Structure 1
Amino acid sequence: MGSIEQETPQVSIPVVDFSAWTPDATLEARLAVAKELADACHNVGFVSIINHGVPLELLEEAFAWSKKLFDLKTEEKMLAPHPDGPTVHRGYSWPGLEKVSQVISSDVEVGEQLRAVTDCKIGSEDNPEQPNVWLPPSTLPGFREFMTHFYWTCNTASLSILEALGLGMGLSDPSFLVKFHSGHNNQLRLLHYPPIPAAMLETEQAARMPAHSDWGSITMLFQDDCGGLEVENQKKEGEFMKVTPRSGACVMNVGDLLMRWSNEDYLKSTLHRVTLPPARDRFTGEERMTRARYSIPYFVSPDIDAVIECMKECAGQGNPVKYESVIQGEYRLMRAKLQYRETGPTAAAAPATG
């Protein structure tokens, strides 16, 4: 499918400036930001947020740390291996351990056919259900301290987004969603997409990240300038639009649980994928290799015992509740069983890529 780039339209997703979302701002100013955000999430499912509260200097430092991590030798990265099975999502995921998929099923054999992602996952230090797996301090000095600080900075920004959404949707309690998100069940991921031949993406022999929706409430994505992110057009199923990277911006999207909270009528979890980057990001030469791509998604999830059920403002006469209530922990485990093997390879057996 060599014409994939020509067939995929470029799109500028809505941009919302959060600079007016401050504690001392007038209600009118905050409401304007909130409505802009809620409308973008309703109409597109994706929005680019600027002045989101995570300083540019901190983002640049986070990407520098990510590159240092993935530049380590495989045996060094494997000093913090992702635990076996679908329960704990922490540490370094070696190539072949997991596979992002939109299939929702409890059939483990289905999940076994869907694997190929490499990343490093970090969470709250105070989450006994998801203990962090850190590299030894001597392997990458300062990494743990920086990432812990970065994690909580992102959390502060996420709470502002959730409160703004509540206000923009007209909830009787704009802070309703915030109450389910202590921050201890979020996940910070460092992603590295190594160079691969462009032809593999053009012919769909490989996908950097297949089409999927996210499991949680919202996702905040920080990305480099390589490109390749595509979102599905909510008005035309199966049509994906390339999203042009914006320096310093946070690309935010609605997740599955927030869609359930809103009864899907207002907020929909949009499919997205990472595929062929723009032509400028493909090297010349015999194999036309893509550039390496780095991104940092911050997945915002309700607390593990949170019950997700339709908000009262989102259902009524002629608009019945579409989803049964679910407990976050049970829903996450069901989705995770598709993504992870019950046992993983040893460090010695892990492929030397990532």
Structure 2
Amino acid sequence: MVKMRFFTFIFLLLLVTISGCIVNPTGNIIKTTNEPIHENNIETKVYFCPRDNCQDIIKNTINNAKTSAHCAFFDLDLKDLINTIAKKSKRANVKVVIDKNNYEKQIKGPGIKVANSKQYMHNKFCIIDNNLVLTGSTNPTNNGVNFNNNNLIIIKSKYIVENYNDEFDELWNGIYASGNKVKYNKINSGNIILENYFCPEDNCKQQVIDTIKEAKESIYFMTFSFTDEDIADQILFKNIDIKGIFEARGATASYGQYNRLKDFGLEVKKDKNKKTMHHKVFIIDNKTVITGSMNPTGSGNFRNDENVLIIHNKEIASKFLEEFEILWG
């Protein structure tokens, strides 16, 4: 009996010791934390397509790479960008992962890998020189930068870079829609707090719901596809100022939440872009923004490989609010 209690104590001690840790595929233990980690001088820039020249922003960001450019693209067809990647690969370590559904041999070489997965590799991000991350909703395609409504975010943060490097390594090694939980999920720089998650391993849906729960004044959203009932329910629970823009073609599709939210009296609209309103954005209390590649859908949360950023900063939120007001008008 004493021996059993001893082993029970040791087991519990081990649980406490390794709590806040994860084990990677090699068997190594990686420390994680739920507490915000502090970082000085995080830099964040936001752009909106097509009103900003997103093609040049993406191209110049990659072209300015001195040592490395590692990118994960759901789709890619910009010839100018493809040429930039090809030229840069001669002078730097360039790697690109492209989803198989959109790979048409538009770019070839040892630095190119096709994501052969049953699920979408739906990311749109690049890591440059282990110094900055470019991400958002923008596919580097003609439609993505010139016609569709999208956002681009450039972040200089060593912890965000490390998170995305870990995710890219998984993709490069053929690990899709699974993998380790994010290492640094909250980074605090004083005037800005960044939350970073990858789907499905970090339960991105729950992160979205938890953020919406905190709303006290307003929720504005712009969504390409919105079918998740749980996220819609959390919005419906809120007796605050709520407005939403749905991409017109998918608004009334099967499981789409447009009609449901409208029937409950919420102010929702279909977008007016003849092409595509491609945002995946929630603006909370004019001070917090949820964005990234994940649509609020079952596929976005449970099946596809995705990334999500939750940005707590009034200045950034005001820029997304300006985009919302343009599309709402």
Which interval holds the TM-score relative to the shorter structure? under 0.3
Could you tell me the TM-score, scaled by structure 2's length? 0.28
Higher RCO (Cα < 8 Å, 6 or more apart): 1
Could you tell me the TM-score, scaled by structure 1's length? 0.26
Higher percent of residues as strand: 2
